[in-house]
Amino acid sequence: MERPIKPRVCGPGFQGRVYATVSLVPPGRLVTYGDVAAALGDAAVARQVGWALAALTDDGVPWHRVINAQGRISVRGDDARAVVQAARLESEGVRFTNGRCDLRAHRFPLPSAPSDDE
């Protein structure tokens, strides 16, 4: 059957995989950069996940559902982005406390690397 996610059609190289994986996260749920990286097959590329999202311009990707392992929003200088992210998450039912969210309660179990078997 048609593969659930085809990284290549979502973008070039690594970024496309990141977008595809992040797109799997349903509203009201959260994932960490490490989770996305692990879903891609390499937990060590968490940094690259953030880098990929930083270059993201597609509203079709719920980038705001991706936070760091500490349950905090990190946008590395883009404060406006952080405000938007927090607002969207709260809009989806995610509760924030002291700038941190309840990652334990909202964490979404990402599936293993998007099956692009070929």
Partner DNA sequence: GGCTTGACTAATG
Partner DNA sequence: TCATTAGCCAAGC
Binding site for DNA (CB under 7 A): 12-15, 32-34, 42, 44-56, 63-64, 66, 68-70, 74-78, 81, 85
How far is Cα of residue 27 from the mean position of the Cα atoms in its chain? Answer: 12
Nearest approach in angstroms of CB 1 to DNA is 27
Nearest approach in angstroms of CB 98 to DNA is 7
33 vs 106 by CB, closer to DNA: 33
Place of tokens 């593969």: 3
Calpha distance 91→4 (Å, rounded): 27
Question: Which residues does residue 26 pair with via DSSP β-bridges, in sequence order?
Answer: none
CA distances from 64 to 17, 25, 72, 115 (A): 17, 10, 11, 24
1 vs 112 by CB, closer to DNA: 112
Nearest approach in angstroms of CB 95 to DNA is 15
4 vs 44 by CB, closer to DNA: 44
